[in-house]
Amino acid sequence: MTAPSFDRVVGALDSLGCLPAHIDGRQNGRLRLMVRCPVHDDHSPSLSVEHIDDRTLVHCFAGCEAKSVVETLGLDWRDLFDESYERLNALSAPKDFVRADNASDLPFTLMGDVIANVPAEPEWAWDGYSAPGTVALFAGRPKVGKSTLTFGLIAAMLNGRPFAGRKRAAAACCY
């Protein structure tokens, strides 16, 4: 029993010297390991590596983020998946996908690239709650102050003043 993603992770761990010599990656008929984490100075195994379905999961019980583990291993998020990895790497261009006629102009992006590139924090129109160019919706029971809150926020937006203890940039708005 072997899996491409599990083999990639185990190979990377082995190249960094994180595997004991006797490890074969099997336990109870499944591909599962507890090894030393390559991210921190690990003296006893704290990194769980387990293959489930079509992917390999990594988890450091000492608290290292999975992203750090994957990067330290010299791998990419796509390396943690089996069949989809080979299929994604085999794609040469959007023409490899069957698309509807009206969708032919859509940009082509691999999901692994989306996962690996977390978007930057937006510039907030109302600090932490509303970004420019978005729609805000206040919902609640009748007579709890939704309209009052909305009018107060609109006044703050038009004047560029703080509202409810949060920074505000001057902006046009529609009610």
For strands 55-60 and 30-35, give the pairing: unpaired
Q: Which of 64, 82, 80, 60 is nearest to 3 (CA)?
A: 82
Residue 149 has pLDDT above 80, yes or no: yes
pLDDT band for 64, please (50, 70, 90 cuts): very high
Q: Which of 55, 49, 45 is nearest to 32 (CA)?
A: 49
- What does DSSP assign to residue 27? E
Question: How large is the average pLDDT for residues 133-162?
Answer: 83
Q: Which of 65, 80, 62, 66 is nearest to 8 (CA)?
A: 80
Residues 110/88, Cβ–Cβ less than 8 Å: yes
Which of 23-37, 57-71, 121-135 has the least mean pLDDT?
Answer: 23-37
Residue 53 has pLDDT above 60, yes or no: yes
**In 14-172, which ranges are E strands?**
26-27, 30-35, 47-52, 55-60
pLDDT tens digits for range 114-132:
677 766 777 777 777 777 7
Rounded to the nearest 5 degrees, what angle is found at the Cα of 109, between the Cα atoms of 106 and 112?
155
pLDDT band for 97, please (50, 70, 90 cuts): very low
Give residue 95's pLDDT.
46
Residues 10/25, Cβ–Cβ less than 8 Å: yes
